[in-house]
Amino acid sequence: MNINIICVGKIKEKYILDGIQEFAKRMQAFGKLKIFELKEDGNDSNRNMSIEKESKSILETLEKNKGFKILLDIQGKNFSSEDMASQIEKIGLNGDSTINFIIGGSYGVSEDIRKSADLRLSFSKMTFPHQLMRLILIEQIYRWFSIIKNTKYHK
């Protein structure tokens, strides 16, 4: 399985980078992981313009990387780790060999991105920093594959 994480912005904190690198290394046992870091616009004076610019970059990246699209969205559906592992397994069984996880910018994503997503996934009603969310996501991806492959990581 090919896993792409398409995200806006760069990781600045070393401890977060270290965690991401650790789980990326562990993921090698389950498939190919690629992280696409897109430029953050961050125009505080015109949030809508920022959302549109960042969303355009996301859509361009998705065009080059066809596959099942999962948008991290606070208004999305909540799953337990076991239920999400089952969803991931079903995606593969339905013929998709690539899953694109999308983390928008700090102002969110356009309605076009929301509509194009095959699944909108919420980790919580709480708001997390985007850098930390990337680490949480990659840990959960590793956990989901551990559940699917029945390894002892998930307890």
SS3 29: coil
104 lies in a domain?
Answer: yes
pLDDT higher than 90, residue 120: yes
Q: Other CB atoms closer than 10 Å to residue 86's CB: what's the count?
A: 15
Q: Give helix then strand counts, H and E, for the chain.
A: 5, 5
- In this predicted model, what pLDDT tens digit does every residue of 87-107 receive, in sequence order? 999 999 999 999 999 999 988
Q: Answer yes or no: is 71 within a domain.
A: yes
Over the chain, what is the mean pLDDT? 94
Q: Which of 57, 58, 85, 92 is nearest to 73 (CA)?
A: 58
Q: Which residues contact 64 (CB under 8 A, 6 or more apart)?
A: none
pTM of the model: 0.94
User: What is the share, in percent, of the chain residues with pLDDT greater than 70?
Assistant: 99
- 91 in any annotated domain: yes
Annotated binding site: 72, 104, 123-128
Is residue 96 included in any domain, yes or no? Answer: yes
Q: What distances in angstroms separate CA 135 from CA 15, 22, 50, one per listed residue?
A: 10, 10, 24
Q: Does 133 fall in a domain? A: yes
Total domains in the fold of the chain: 1
Residue 7: closest CA among 103, 100, 73, 131 = 103
pLDDT at 141 over 80: yes
Residue 57, pLDDT score = 96
Q: pLDDT band at residue 130, thresholds of 50, 70 and 90?
A: confident
**CATH number of the CATH domain containing 79:** 3.40.1280.10
Q: Does residue 31 sit within a domain?
A: yes
Could you tell me the residue range of the domain that residue 11 belongs to? Answer: 2-148
**Residue 155 placed within a domain:** no
More reliable by pLDDT, 47 or 119 = 119
- Binding site for S-adenosyl-L-methionine: what residues are annotated? 72, 104, 123-128
